[in-house]
Chain A
Amino acid sequence: MGLDAASIEAARNGHTGDSEGSIREPPSRVDTVGEYTNMKKAIAAVAFGLTAGLFATGASAQATLNGVKQKGYLVCGSNTGLAGFGLPDAQGNWTGLDVDLCRAISAAIFDDPSKVRFIPLAAKDRFTALQSGEVDVLSRNSTHTMSRDTQLGLDFPAINYFDGQGFMVRKKLGVSSAKELNGASICTQQGTTTELNLADYFRANNMKYEVVAFATSDETFKAYDSGRCDAFTTDASGLYAERLRASNPDDHVVLPEIISKEPLGPAVRHGDDQWGDLVRWTHMAMLNAEELGVTKANVDQMRSSDNPEIKRLLGTEGKFGESIGLTNDWAYRIIKHVGNYGEAFERNVGEGSRLKINRGQNALWTKGGLQYGIPVR
């Protein structure tokens, strides 16, 4: 397969690029599916053309929110399993940062975070499932890219996790920066954007490296763990999840450099702006709550706060909820049931979880991160 745009996209669909560091499809099938993806894309293009008119009318203004209210539940496309983002627990309940966003939307609409039905979607199914109206919102660590935003008929209303490709090395190697990896052997997964990013990065920094590629993420990590190569690369969120599986997790360290941009966020259908607003402001409400110090525990006291920003956020002042088709205490409901962004982060991927990913780029803008809550006013 040549590295034409289609095959890169196919690889991206099946593999990283989307921070699936620790899951992946079942091994040998990924490649088979990759083959079909090309053919499927062609058919999909035709199908899109044929049905575009249908969807344009079917999914236009306000249809989604009314539909959700009518059904009495939200249908959320989730990952089929990615630690920290969307994963069923021992009782089969979905947990994770992406899942919490869906629960927050459900809380905002129904005052009940459990009115969500999760449809686990494989990477290749996810956009058609959204297009065809099978899911109301896709919260499945999807990278926001220009082509997806403009060509697939999607909108990405928010970025709930800034991810990017990183490196992990053994501590005893004594390396503290990716720039010191000159001449290193690096384990990576075949045919993914990870491999391409790696090549770009080393060429840009004029360094030599030896790539050791494997078909599945499992094999790749096993090889690194058994000492086959000096460094292991995949999306940063995946690095932390993989490190837990190492025979000695404390022997490994994740390097600070991030060599690619993977802004992950929820996606909605293009054209239903009200619904997109609702999803965006759900995320923003969680960010603003964190910034203003409103937490799940203190949200009831905060309702009587004198701070005008908190008053506007929690709906004791103004009619901001009505402008997105909800009640004015929409944000109060979100915080009450799900908590603010910081709480969701810590619980699912941060210090409160096994993954222990530090906030990094996902810290609030006030703490040097990229998460910037747009004011409610």
Chain B
Amino acid sequence: MSTAVDSPHFVRANQVEALPPPNLTRGPIAWARENLFSGPFNTLLTLVVLYLLYVSIPPLVEFLFIDAVWTGTGREACRAETAGREVGACWAFIWDKINYFTYGSYPADERWRVDTFFVLLAIGVVWLLWLRAPRRDLGAIYFFWLFPVASYIVLTGGNADFGAGFWTGFLIFGALLIGLFTLIAALLKTSIRPALLIGGGIVAVIGITLALVDFDWGLQNVPTSLWGGILVTLLVATVGIVFSLPFGVLLALGRRSKLPIVRMASVIFIEFVRGVPLITVLIMANTMLPLFLPGDITVDRLLRPLIGTAFFASAYMAEVVRGGLQAIPKGQYEGAMSLGLSYPQMMVFIVLPQALRIVIPGIVNTFIGLFKDTSLVAIVGIFDLIKTIEASRIDPEWAAPTISYTGYAFAAFFYFIFCWSMSRYSLGVERRLAAGQKR
């Protein structure tokens, strides 16, 4: 047995570069084969879809962009016989009316106030939704308290002019509230200091809010009948979204409560509101309500549909949240209780975080539906974006065959951008919160 090494062993130091896969299994051709033409049925479907795209996309692009009219001052620019060519979408019309679409009849000199509102809204949304924003707890205070108050003052002009009688009444009410809290604390034999602080805090917040609204900021009063366009659309949607989530959660908890009155009240509210179409709620609010109220009491025409949509969205939201609550296994509740957590602690720390995560798609679905439902306020004579477009497209100054299509295309872009952003954001949130479930 020879130990001599007469020929050096070959030891490979590096791994051989793998050969590329055969051409037929990679690249666009393979991808197409695998995804588009993997069988006779799929091939047929692909061809049909390609044909449909071929039929629909080029004319659409042609209408919206290639043949579109971008500049002009009147109907002549957008009519084939005066423009001397095929005319598609008349974007000049949108451009001419864009102020009306954005602000409605809001007085021209005061429109900076609407811009301020848009900026305040954007700040609030970014602060709350951007995860790395600083001090998001302050953001919540801003969005749910400072922003609504500031918006109200900026848009209406504030200066509610309550008068001395109102403030006297408020002081009495405040004293009674603080007294009530103290009394409860005394009855429960707990220390009185926190009760005083809570009661005083509530009264102070309400008082500051009212004082801000009452203060004469020197802004001209702008009645809501002049508001319109994107301003109203965003306003109705924001109010609906901001109110529906907390109210929806409360209603859902109420419906699953063991207290019979709370449960009954929640069930009746949810079933009643959910059982009628939004359009009847709106018509009831704007047409019938004035008949039932005494002559000198009027509720603002814009406020009525705002309340209506907020109620409506809350009822739907409640059912979505209830779905999430029911999906949480009983063990979670029992575990929380066995740790000695109180009901609020159990809900806030254990159940709701899990339940809400499950129903994010449902919540966002409701939001998107609500955002588009805001266009129904047009039926009761509120000039939201759709209604301003409808009123503008019949303007004789712009009477041309493609004006209506252009107006609706603009509305479609607007709604799509907002709804799509909501949908994308919610996907991001889902992905982040589902990190624990990933395998």
Contacts and interface: CB of A to CB of B under 8 A. Distances in A.
Contacts of A244: 75, 396, 399
Contacts of B295: 54-55, 58-59, 132-133
Nearest to A22: B394
Interface stretch (B10-18, B250-258, B279-287): B279-287
Interface in B271-295: 279-280, 283, 286-288, 290-295
Interface in A24-48: 25-26, 29, 32-33, 36, 40, 43-44, 47-48
Interface in B96-138: 96-97, 99-100, 103-106, 108
B223 interface: yes
A26 B379 contact: yes
Q: Is the interface of B mostly helix, strand, loop or mixed?
A: helix
Contact of B378 (A26, A32, A59, A124): A26
Interface string A188-218: 0000000000000000000000000000001
A219 to B, nearest CB: 11
A89 B380 CA distance: 20
B394 A82 contact: yes
A245 interface: yes
A193 B385 CA distance: 30
B397 A93 contact: no
A247 interface: yes
A128 B401 contact: no
B287 A81 contact: no
Contacts of B396: 83-84, 241, 244, 353-355
B6 interface: no
The interface size bin for chain B is: 35 or more
A332 interface: no
A124 B400 CA distance: 29
B381 A125 contact: yes
A92 B381 contact: no
Contact of B291 (A119, A122, A124, A132): A132
A119 B225 contact: yes
Contacts of A90: 96-97, 99-100, 392
A120 interface: yes
Interface in B385-426: 386-388, 390-392, 394-397, 399-401, 403-404
A345 interface: no
A371 B277 CA distance: 46
Contacts of A121: 381
A132 B290 contact: yes
A187 B401 CA distance: 18
Interface of B: 75, 80-81, 96-97, 99-100, 103-106, 108, 223, 225-226, 228, 279-280, 283, 286-288, 290-296, 298, 301, 378-381, 383, 386-388, 390-392, 394-397, 399-401, 403-404
Given A47-B288, A128-B291, A248-B81, 10 more contacts: A23-B394, A54-B295, A83-B394, A92-B100, A120-B381, A121-B381, A132-B291, A245-B401, A354-B397, A354-B399
8 contacts: A29-B379, A58-B296, A80-B381, A81-B390, A83-B399, A88-B383, A131-B291, A132-B290
